[in-house]
Amino acid sequence: MFESLKPIAKDPILGLMAAFRADKREKKIDLGVGVYQDDSGRTPVMKSVKQAEALLMDLEHTKSYQGIAGDNDYNQQMMSLLFGSNHSIVGSGRLATLQAPGGSGSLRVGAEVVLRARPEAKLWVGVPTWPNHIPLLGSAGFSIEQYPYYDLSTHKINTEAMMDALSQVPAGDVVLLHGCCHNPTGADLTKQHWDQIAQLALDRGFIPFIDIAYQGLGDGLDADAYGVRMMAEKLPELIVASSCSKNFGLYRERTGSITFIAETSEQAQLISSQAMSIARQIYSMPPAHGALLVALILGDDQLRADWQAELEEVRLRIMSMRTLLTDSINNNAAGIDFSHIKQQRGMFSFLGIESQQLERLREEFAIYIVSSTRVNIAGINSNNIEYLSQSIRTVLDAG
Ligand SMILES: Cc1ncc(COP(=O)(O)O)c(C=O)c1O
């Protein structure tokens, strides 16, 4: 049977990571990988997570199955993290939140619920978007349409083209938006963009589907949720997939949640039962460990404050690396302006250099960057910044 299977082309990012591991040069730098790294280049377990794990060792008395919707405390805490505890939507009965395996599992459950409700709905994604959005959501059954998002020549959102495209989206279609820290561009929607898109959603009747995988890594926990909170107030229907992979550093624990806002509480209950039947058909129940940790952290004043302080440190480190990189390249940048890096948010930005310059960075200087020129800002640290900016200046000066 299996002889009929065709090999799948290797993921270019995995290929780049393998080449990086095999590289013996001492000064090598990996800016391709998509996880946070601290100033010593490690991806550590957060101290608040370690403390919650110690507590859990004592508190956990069973490994019996938990419900299909996951841990109830976790779901409640995620709602207040996303919306803020005083938001009118919390307690309105119009919310349905389920724990799901990571941001990816959450996106998938969201997509499948939409397609049960409206099999002909199309999904509109910005260009570019996180490369996994299309296979993940397309294979759920969505046909994918695209809208312009980022202008490579100006390093800004192409507002006019984006709004033009979104003002053509038919009623009942779904528009995917990045809540904050856009991956791969780092160019986030402004408040004005969010407000304008909310108005278009109301006028046209499309439904925003917000993927928020980096809450707290951009401008802070509350500021990063502006779009989610404003749309939850203004729109009758909304879908939000969130991930604790980055802001709690729980990558491998597969911790996320999917939230639906319905017009009525009866509809929210219907959605919840449909989402649970979908989860049951795919993975039955989400993994417990990460969600129990998040519920413990967010439910305890001291642990929550510790976690917020650690997250703030992460956010500020990324911001300072953005400034340092911009300033050190721009000191001598062959006439190219890199100020977008300083202005953008989250872990990623496009460097925007030529492919032969990228190749030279890898071959001559052991600096690994994916072909789109997306760099992981968190891969930069006080030990490698000088070598990195010097190498970039060298390849830029050579033209
Ligand atoms: C934009 C975006 N959405 C979703 C995810 C998925 O996160 P998770 O690892 O929690 O599945 C990522 C991860 O990189 C991402 O960048």
Phi-psi map region of 181: left, alpha, beta (phi>0 left; psi -120 to 50 alpha): left
Residue numbers of the domain that contains 93: 65-299
- Cut 0.95: pTM above it: yes
Residues 6 or more apart whose CB falls under 8 angstroms from that of 214 comprise 179, 180, 181, 183, 224, 246, 247, 346, 347
Within-domain flag for 56: no
Residue nearest to atom 5 of ligand 1 (CA): 103
Write down which residue in 256, 283, 299 finishes a domain. Answer: 299
The burial class, CB within 10 Å (0-12 / 13-18 / 19+), for 203 is exposed
Alpha helices in 289-384 (DSSP H): 289-298, 301-330, 339-343, 355-365
Which tens digits make up the pLDDT trace of 26-56? 999 999 988 999 999 999 999 999 999 999 9
Q: Are residues 202 and 328 in the same domain?
A: no
Within-domain flag for 4: no
User: Which pair of tokens denotes residue 108?
Assistant: 């998938």
Q: Are residues 268 and 318 in the same domain?
A: no
* 58 catalytically annotated: no
Write down which residue in 299, 324, 348 finishes a domain. Answer: 299
Measure the CA–CA gap between 173 and 145, rounded to whole angstroms.
10
* 156 catalytically annotated: no
Q: Are residues 281 and 334 in the same domain?
A: no
Which tens digits make up the pLDDT trace of 147-171? 999 999 999 999 999 999 999 999 9
Instruction: Count the Cβ atoms, other than its own, within 10 Å of residue 175.
Output: 23
Q: Are residues 144 and 290 in the same domain?
A: yes
Q: Are residues 171 and 294 in the same domain?
A: yes
> Which of the following is catalytic: 173, 194, 224, 246?
246
Q: Are residues 295 and 324 in the same domain?
A: no
Instruction: Count the Cβ atoms, other than its own, within 10 Å of residue 9.
Output: 7
Nearest residue to 242 via CA among 218, 221, 220, 211: 211
User: What values do phi and psi take at 213, rounded to 5?
Assistant: -105, 0
Say if residues 238 and 244 touch (Cβ distance below 8 Å). no
Residue 211 has pLDDT above 70, yes or no: yes
Which tens digits make up the pLDDT trace of 7-32? 988 888 888 989 999 999 999 999 99
Residue nearest to atom 13 of ligand 1 (CA): 213
Residue nearest to atom 4 of ligand 1 (CA): 103
Which tens digits make up the pLDDT trace of 77-128? 999 999 998 999 998 999 999 999 999 999 999 999 999 999 999 999 999 9
Transcribe 204-231 into DSSP letters. Answer: H--EEEEEES-TTSSS-TTGGGHHHHHH
Domain CATH code at residue 268: 3.40.640.10
User: Which pair of tokens denotes residue 204?
Assistant: 């046209």
Q: Which residues line ligand 1 (CB under 6 A)?
A: 34, 102-104, 130, 178, 183, 211, 213, 243, 245, 251, 256
Q: Are residues 212 and 350 in the same domain?
A: no
Q: Which atom of ligand 1 is nearest to the CA of 106?
A: 11
Measure the CA–CA gap between 29 and 382, rounded to whole angstroms.
12
Within-domain flag for 234: yes
Within-domain flag for 399: no
Q: Are residues 289 and 318 in the same domain?
A: no
Q: Are residues 242 and 327 in the same domain?
A: no
Write down which residue in 273, 299, 325 finishes a domain. Answer: 299
Within-domain flag for 58: no
Give the total number of structural domains in the chain: 2
Q: Are residues 189 and 224 in the same domain?
A: yes
Ligand 1 centre from 1 Cα, in Å? 34
Q: Are residues 190 and 234 in the same domain?
A: yes
Q: Which atom of ligand 1 is nearest to the CA of 243?
A: 10
Q: Are residues 295 and 318 in the same domain?
A: no
